[in-house]
Amino acid sequence: MGDHKKPKYKYFKRDISWLSFNYRVLLEAKDKSLPVYERIKFLSIFSSNLEEFYKVRVSGYHSSLVEAIKEESVEEALKTLSEINNEVMQQEEEYYRIFNEEILPELKENDIILYQSDDILPFHRNFVTKYFNEEVFPFLTPMIIQKDYIHSFILDARIYQVISLLSRKNKDVAPDPSEYTFAIMKIPYTKVPRFIELPSHEGVHYIMFIDDIIRANLSSVFPGYKIGDCYSIKISRDADFSIEEEDYTNLAEKILKKVRKRKIGAVTRFQYDKAMSDYFLKYLCDTYEIEEEELLPSGRYLNLDDLMNLPNPTNKKLTANLPAPLRIPEFEKNSSLLRVLRKKDVLMYFPYQSFDYLIRFLMQAAFDPKVLEIKVTQYRVAENSAVINSLISAAKNGKQVTVFVELKARFDEENNYLTAEAMQQAGIKIIYSLQGLKVHAKLAYVRKRSKDPKVPIKGYAYLSTGNFNEKTARIYSDMGLLTSNQDIINEIDELFHILEGKEQTHKFEHLLVAQFNMVPALQTMINKEIAHVENGDKGRIILKMNSLEDKKMIAELYRASMAGVEIDLIIRGICCLVPNQSYSKNIKITRIVDAYLEHSRVWYFHNNGEPTYHLTSADWMSRNLFRRIETAFPIYCEKHQQQIKDMLTIQLSDNVKACTIDENLNNIYKVNNKPKVRAQQAIYHYLKKETEQEG
């Protein structure tokens, strides 16, 4: 793979790079061109992303430092943890500044006031007292905190209020902190909403945090005390786990046990209102054994991913107006999708085009008498999934249905297990996770009866960059190919044999499959581009993906850059490649964050004027390339190749939502004098125009 000693390559730390991405999400909340509830949505996404980051990634820097982060020493891991916490504190300061100084005033301009206090206006006092007594008080379970005694367990990701109380007998104006009693109380989030709409007054709508409704009524909860201070706290706990290699008997049962233990995992973050006194904070840390590196000061309100549910009590349009998904002319002209696929491949672009066609494809396969068998990989599916319902229909219609269920899909383990049980009851054959590997490939395969003995395997396939999930297909940007290409069908059949543990030849000439031929094929394609440049021709690579982390593959890109290959990377999230170095001067990084989550993965290699195009489920992360089953599938149809090239060109031309990443991980907006291009809107209009021409 080339000599990497000269020069010494630099790589960004994975988790610091991820924080740069999450800051880019936060920048959307600052964008005054967006409707206010769209900006609030990005505040919510930022918080939600950070919560998962602390549960999964930061957990590795705590208790099991050396085991969890094999490349780093304990000292280096602690240094990285400090860098993470410092960056997060800066980002959260910016977060609360945007919330308080930009979002709240804009809501007020639209006649919506979100209370930021428990100091209630006179015309709301009766309502708030009545609401508290009837809807909240019955579910509160306050407990006194006693440092040296058994104390309550703080659940993961729940908001608690901690209260300082003073005996009514105490007459001191400024009592000594040691005279306070401290109490803790969980906000009953399952019983009451986070935001309560209060009666409107003189045309203005009022919303109140449930936190403040409780604060305003604390004297009812602690009748024998004077109320001192009340602050919110929250603990994030380690939610990551692994199953030992030899531990694969009763896998489903073991995973479910570990999932349920997430709620009591080790502390990775202790968030608290930074207004809290030092004495109060120290008392809590001593009681709950919180370490200094776990402390993260925050604002008055925690768990602001709840902002996704902030009511809009006005009739004003304050949210983004996303266009309805486009119809696909080939499928609209013909009621049988399978008949269309016998003649041509169809490439689908979500969410610009409707996901309904995939449901229709599976449902028609379920009822087609010539169809014998359906096989699908399941990584993440929607609850009450229409995809799963169509597979159950197929089984009830006498088709052989096999579903490979990846139980190790993080945070979807339980949903996947319950879905698998429902499928099993309907007669579907379920195959669970492979030992030591996650199956991340997105495949569906429909086998039909073949009259030709020379072609025993015939049918249709669906290959995708994203999950079989109709819910996320409305907000994730992905691509999927429906095909009856015999070469691809044969290789998908081969891949399912591998998943089923059957004997197989492992010959893949069209599909690129991680664990088998994916990495060598990528290295060959990169080497070809280098060779073309050395021969005086053009070398060009465009890679679009969510994450670029694997150092071996980054080193290959550095090597290609030094040889003069022009490389454009469109990376949404983690990017460990450092631009603007002598060895990366021909590499540009673009990051796009907009209304839809950029999720498709595309590989374009110029190949001396005969370009190759692959769509794939795989990011260039070590886990995807070496510890998962992933697929990349070729696009052979010239029309589809042109569409993909056009869309990559549109994304690289974006000068509204695109940022470049510099050598300090800054997100620098692409600003130029060219006509404004907002890639997601431009792609929609591009596809709409094509639809109208074909329609």
Residue numbers annotated as active site = 440
Cα separation, 81 vs 59, whole angstroms: 10
Residue from 79, 18, 80, 24 nearest 52 by CA:
18
Cα separation, 386 vs 473, whole angstroms: 12
- List C-alpha distances in Å: 96 to 100, 101, 104, 297: 6, 8, 11, 12
Give the pair of three-digit tokens for residue 662: 């510099």
Tell me the sheet residues that pair with 371: 448
Whether the Cβ atoms of residue 666 and residue 650 lie closer than 8 Å to each other: no
Q: Is 289 helix (H, G, I), strand (E, B) or coil?
A: coil
Residue from 357, 352, 303 nearest 332 by CA:
357
Whether the Cβ atoms of residue 211 and residue 159 lie closer than 8 Å to each other: yes
**Separation of first and last alpha carbons in the chain:** 49
Tell me the sheet residues that pair with 404: 377, 431
Whether the Cβ atoms of residue 617 and residue 464 lie closer than 8 Å to each other: yes
How does DSSP assign 230-263, residue by residue? EEEEEEEE-------TT--TTHHHHHHHHHHHGG
The region, left, alpha or beta by phi > 0 then psi within -120 to 50, assigned to residue 609 is: left
- List C-alpha distances in Å: 100 to 130, 136, 652: 28, 27, 34
